[in-house]
């Protein structure tokens, strides 16, 4: 799904009481669309959880994303740093 569409869907889900976190590949789209909570990741398109077959790194991305679910509805944009992954 396109980065912009995901942000719009997240906003509508939040209006209906469903907590969302968007995994965003394009920072400029997140800044423009302002989803309720977004984790900006610096990975290539097609690899939103980092490189294939790197389960610990992918898990670190998912954990960072899930941690944002506790943040108050924003917009909140957090930048993920791949160096934090194992």
Least confident of 19-23, 62-66, 78-82: 78-82
The mean pLDDT value for 28-55 works out to 90
Q: Confidence class of residue 1 from pLDDT cuts 50, 70 and 90?
A: low
pTM of the model: 0.82
Domain boundaries, the chain: 3-84
Strand order of the β-sheet with 37-40 is 22-24, 37-40, 76-79
**In this predicted model, what pLDDT tens digit does every residue of 10-26 receive, in sequence order?**
999 999 999 999 999 98
């Amino acid at each position: 799904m396109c980065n912009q569409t995901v942000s719009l869907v997240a906003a509508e889900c939040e209006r209906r009481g469903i907590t969302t976190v968007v995994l965003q590949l394009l920072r400029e789209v997140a800044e423009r669309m302002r989803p309720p909570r977004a984790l900006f990741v610096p990975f290539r398109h097609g690899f939103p959880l980092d490189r294939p077959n790197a389960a610990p790194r992918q898990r670190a991305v998912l954990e960072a994303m899930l941690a944002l679910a506790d943040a108050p509805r924003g917009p909140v944009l957090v930048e993920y740093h791949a160096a934090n992954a194992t």
